């Protein structure tokens, strides 16, 4: 499968997106949006901000793991990575978002019919 954004609705009725790499791993995930259009706006914000290193914050979790956030120009977090065991793995994750996000298509999973 190819790199892509997946837009989906959680059990709490909020909308989320996740960026998946070509190997199907989630490399960036959003927080919840109450309106689907705002989730689409979040994806567009990731696409426009992801190529620039200045929008990434490299962080450490309480349990000694590493992760990053992608922020918009207003400082708001628009995506959070999974956790990594090394700083190099975190850098690889950032590189993957920089590479994949700007051109990744959006797969809207809310449009799929069940049954």
Q: What CATH number did the domain enclosing 77 receive?
A: 2.30.29.80
d(CA 90, CA 80): 12
**57-69 tens-digit pLDDT:** 999 988 899 999 9
Q: What is the pLDDT of residue 62?
A: 85
Sign of CA dihedral 14, 76, 54, 69: negative
**71-95 tens-digit pLDDT:** 999 999 999 999 999 999 999 999 9
The β-bridge partners of 15 are 9, 33
Domain count for the chain, please give it.
Answer: 1
Return the higher-pLDDT residue of 22 and 29: 29
Tokens describing residue 76: 């708001």
Write out the residue range of the structural domain in which residue 61 sits.
Answer: 4-111
d(CA 95, CA 84): 14
Give the whole-number percent of the chain exceeding pLDDT 70.
96
CA nearest 56: which of 33, 40, 79? Answer: 79
Residue 115: pLDDT over 60: no
């Amino acid at each position: 499968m190819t790199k892509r954004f997946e837009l989906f609705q959680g059990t709490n009725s909020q909308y989320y997106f996740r960026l998946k790499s070509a190997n199907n791993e989630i490399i960036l995930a959003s927080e919840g949006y109450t309106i689907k259009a705002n989730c689409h706006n979040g994806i567009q914000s990731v696409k426009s901000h992801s190529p620039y290193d200045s929008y990434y914050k490299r962080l450490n979790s309480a349990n000694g793991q590493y992760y990053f956030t992608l922020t918009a120009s207003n400082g708001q977090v628009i995506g959070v990575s999974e956790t990594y065991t090394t700083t190099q793995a975190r850098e690889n994750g950032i590189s993957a978002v920089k590479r994949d996000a700007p051109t990744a298509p959006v797969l809207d999973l809310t449009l799929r019919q069940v049954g």
